[in-house]
Amino acid sequence: MRVVGVSVTETTPAPDAPSTLPLAVLDFVGIEYGESAADSIAGAVEVARAVEAAGFGRYWMSEHHNMSSLACSAPEILISHLLTLTSSIRVGAAGIMLPNHAAFKVAETFRTLLAIAPGRVDLGLGRAPGTDPLTAHVLRRGTQTDPAADFPGQVAELLGFLGDGFPEGHPYGQLLAAPVVPDRPDVFMLGSSQYGPQFASVNGMRAVFAHHMSPEIATSVLRRYRADFTPGVEQEPWSAISVLAFASDDPDEVTRFEAGWALTMLNLRRNIREPIRPEAVDEFAASAEFRDAPRDADRMATGPAGVVVERLQQLRQESQADEVVIVTPGLDRAARIASFESVAAAWPR
């Protein structure tokens, strides 16, 4: 299959599985202050099992590097771990930052995952590095590439190795991404700019847009994706929108979530990549810097579960998305799980 690149001006269920809600979770596998990476991964298992029981259809993990506050530098290993400790929920990466990897190796890895858990593996593709420039340089062994120019070719190679094959005479046509399995992962194109959805529409792929990063354009680019969709990898359009969300009847918990996210973003801008002390979040929540800052209500859905679900339903309708991916980073895993469960309970059947 030939995959087409795009040029835009960018602005800042499994077989026999129970009926599921059109909801997914994107987890950064955060390492809470004072816990180990092993504790964080055990916590991710707890989250995945809880949302599976609540009726969510997917549990995804991100790929980030060079951060002591996250345990998601190798999402493909975490996926294998989670697949063996859950039974019906789809598990995947959102995503694999393809410029950091060889397409052949990604195909081998995800075919192996399918051999472990047939019909339950998702593969989201991103073209960003998921890290800082120096770490990206190391991951790519110093290779100087232009992701915008190289990405379409990388995607075409990956799809070829996953089963689409290559044109006659192509040198890679003789290669086999083992093990051979009868199915393929659901493949998604991720994006936080116009590029991702447009790439997906041109090449007939599923699209997932990061409203939690670019809320100002999320609904419009997803609607455009559906309007411009050309059959390719998929015959029909399919999209999801990822949204920052936290549900609680306790206003203090809601404030703590909002302050925690704001402080996390502030620390990243300061190049601080370590776990945040809970006391630091409480101090920041009480500070004039946080209190006087305008609330970014368009970026997140917070409050009682009914309010959160109403906002998520609104975004889903406006964007014409098939699913909503909930992003709930935070320092209190029990509160996060309670939020996921309350959203699922309030979601209309």
pLDDT tier for residue 144 given thresholds of 50, 70 and 90:
low
Q: Of all residues in the chain, what percent carry a pLDDT higher than 90?
A: 77
Integer Cα distance of 246 and 326 in angstroms:
9
- Asked whether residue 278 carries a pLDDT value surpassing 60, the answer given is yes
- Is 292 inside any structural domain? no
Mean of all residue pLDDT scores within the chain: 91
Other Cβ atoms less than 10 A from the Cβ of 241: the count is 26
Closest residue by Cα to residue 106 from 144, 74, 64, 141: 74
- Is 334 inside any structural domain? yes
Q: How large is the angle between the packed helices 103-116 and 147-159, nearest 10 degrees?
A: 40
pLDDT tier for residue 8 given thresholds of 50, 70 and 90:
low
- Is 104 inside any structural domain? yes
Q: What is the mean pLDDT of residues 2-18?
A: 51
| pLDDT at res. 13 | 43
- Asked whether residue 129 carries a pLDDT value surpassing 80, the answer given is no
| pLDDT at res. 2 | 61
What is the CATH classification number for the domain harbouring 74? 3.20.20.30
* pLDDT tens per residue, range 59-99: 999 999 898 899 999 999 999 999 999 999 999 999 899 98
Question: E strands along 204-343, which residues?
Answer: 206-210, 239-247, 300-303, 323-327
Helix (H, G, I), strand (E, B) or coil at 245: strand
Give the structural domain span for 189.
21-247+297-346
| pLDDT at res. 339 | 98
Residue with tokens 């997906």: 200
| pLDDT at res. 329 | 93
pLDDT tier for residue 130 given thresholds of 50, 70 and 90:
low
pLDDT tier for residue 133 given thresholds of 50, 70 and 90:
confident
* pLDDT tens per residue, range 288-331: 988 888 776 678 999 999 999 999 999 999 999 999 999 999 88
Integer Cα distance of 62 and 242 in angstroms:
12
| pLDDT at res. 293 | 80
- Asked whether residue 197 carries a pLDDT value surpassing 70, the answer given is yes
- Residue 26 is classified by DSSP as E
| pLDDT at res. 15 | 40
Q: Please tell me which residue, 215 or 6, carries the higher pLDDT value.
A: 215
- Is 269 inside any structural domain? no
* pLDDT tens per residue, range 103-119: 999 999 999 999 999 99
Q: What is the mean pLDDT of residues 145-161?
A: 86
pLDDT tier for residue 10 given thresholds of 50, 70 and 90:
very low
| pLDDT at res. 326 | 98
| pLDDT at res. 17 | 41
Q: What is the mean pLDDT of residues 8-20?
A: 48
> Global pTM?
0.91
Other Cβ atoms less than 10 A from the Cβ of 227: the count is 10
- Is 121 inside any structural domain? yes
Q: Which stretch of 45-49, 248-252, 260-264 has the lowest confidence by average pLDDT?
A: 260-264
* pLDDT tens per residue, range 218-251: 999 999 999 999 999 999 999 999 999 999 999 9
Query: What total number of domains does the chain contain?
Result: 1
- Is 274 inside any structural domain? no
pLDDT tier for residue 271 given thresholds of 50, 70 and 90:
confident
Helix (H) or strand (E) segment spanning residue 269: helix 251-269
- Is 172 inside any structural domain? yes
- Is 216 inside any structural domain? yes
Angle at Cα 211 formed by Cα 209 and Cα 215, nearest 5°? Answer: 130
Integer Cα distance of 347 and 332 in angstroms:
23
